[in-house]
Structure 1
Amino acid sequence: MPVYFNPSFMKKISLTLALLAGLTGAARAQRSDVSLGLKAGASYSAFTGKQAYNPEYIFGFHIGAFANIGLSDLFAFQPEILYSQKGSNPNLVDFKTRLNYVDLPLAFHVNANGLFFEAGPQVGLLLAAQDKAGNVSVDRKNRYNTFDLGYLAGLGYQRKTGPGIGLRYNGGFTNLEKPSTIGSVTVQNNVRNGVFQLYLTYSFNGR
């Protein structure tokens, strides 16, 4: 039995194979421009807002991981997951409020040969909150909102592979404390997080 080839069908097959080859090449190129990394550093935080009562900064730390996704030679997107200590000292001797979060920063980078400037939103999930006076700690988690919506801005030096360094500020959009009701009056204190972060990074699996 003779076999007949449909030129139109063969053309469709060729176009399909060419499209698959193009998508495969694009996927490989995209993967090669993604690097994973670890970061850790010191935090310097205080409460901000009208009802922050003249706060003083306290030290803490943050640690976590990130994925740097190159969008072009100039721009990159870097989602992160961090364990972060925040808090404040309300200008009292040997007293501080400590808040522990899992933060999810979504940083957009503008790159220039390793030097970067960054900005973006951030969501925090409160894990624990304590007031500490001397050696006595009191659980205050019920006083604070579980989610903290904020922003980040910073700069640093980071390649697709190897070590890096950065300085970032985290500010809060939402109030930390839950509203309280006294009789028929509801009071919402204007108190937000403000954190400086100095950190080191190490990137790997990049091109």
Structure 2
Amino acid sequence: MMKKLLVLVMALGMFGISQAQEFDVGIKAGVNFSQFQDAKNFDSDSRTGLLAGAFVGVKFSDRFAIQPEILYSQQGGDSDFGDYHIDYVNVPVIFKFYLISDVLNVQAGPQFGFVANDDFPEFEAIEEQVEAESFDISAAVGAGLDLPFGLRVDARYNFGFTETIENTDAKNGVFSLALGYSFL
């Protein structure tokens, strides 16, 4: 599955580059506020984590761009039963629509997540029974500012579609704030 997704992202990237008016590459880092949504059998509080990674932006017109990213993202939640720390390598494919010139944009797109680390510190006695799903599909919506000198600011919310922890119906809900820098 990972190989097929990587090939798809690369193919979209190559097509986008060939059609692009503008092209940029950059890095970004920020903070996540994550919580499990729709969980049965437990309530969870927010977990604060970091996100960091890189992006490639391809602008097709004055109003429309696509921005694939690869991000390391600390997510999860805290509950009465214990803390759930699940770290992902996320691959969002963000479509950007510019509202005001080249500055203010709204964003939306799919996100594909691969578990890099799952840690359930309070569940050591039953660790084999508490498993994170290895793959996560979500949708991202948000807004961003493309500022002078290559600076970028993004605020997004990711709605999880897939179960995060086996047999819980829990889905990721993640609000993130990130600061980026474009090299081109």
Task: Tell whether 2:88 aligns with 1:101.
Answer: yes
Partner of residue 23, structure 1: none
Aligned to 1:144: 132
Residues matched between the structures, number:
165
Which of 29, 34, 49 in structure 1 is aligned with 2:23?
34
Residues 45-88 of structure 1 show CA distances to partners (whole Å, capped at 9, x for unaligned) of 11111416221001100000001100111000000000000010
Q: TM-score, normalised by structure 2?
A: 0.81
**1:109 touches 1:116 (CA, 8 Å); kept in 2?**
yes
- Corresponding letter in the other structure for 1:84: S
Does structure 1 retain, via aligned residues, the 8 Å contact 2:144–2:153?
Answer: yes
Length-normalised TM-score, structure 1: 0.72
Q: Which has the larger radius of gyration?
A: 1
Pair 1:74-2:53 in alignment: no
Which runs of at least 4 in structure 1 moved beyond 2 Å after TM superposition?
A: 136-142
Unaligned stretches of 5+ residues in structure 1 = 1-25, 179-187
Query: What is the aligned partner in structure 1 of residue 151 from structure 2?
Result: 163
**Which residue of 1 is the match for residue 164 of structure 2?**
176
Work out the CA distance in 1 between the residues paired with 2:157 and 2:38.
16
In the TM superposition, residue 39 of structure 1 has moved relative to its aligned partner by: 0.5
The match for 1:8 is: none
**Structure 1 pair 160–47 and aligned structure 2 pair: CA distance change class (3 A):** same
Letter aligned with residue 180 of structure 2: T
Aligned partners of 2:96 and 2:87: how far apart in 1?
26
| Partner SS for 1:51 | coil
Q: Compute the RMSD of aligned alpha carbons.
A: 2.5
Q: Which residue of 38, 47, 59 maps to 1:58?
A: 47
**Contact 2:74 2:88 (8 Å CA) reproduced:** yes
Q: 1:171 to 1:198 in 2, by over 3 A?
A: same
| Deviation of the 1:190 alpha carbon | 1.2
Shift of 1:96: 1.3
CA contact (8 A) 1:160 1:203 kept: no
What corresponds to 1:13 in structure 2?
none
Look up the match of 2:34.
45
Q: SS state of the match for residue 53, structure 1? A: coil
1:132 deviation in Å?
2.2
Counterpart amino acid of residue 158 in structure 2: N
> Is the 2:130–2:165 Cα contact (8 Å) retained in structure 1?
no
Q: 1:46 to 1:34 in 2, by over 3 A?
A: same
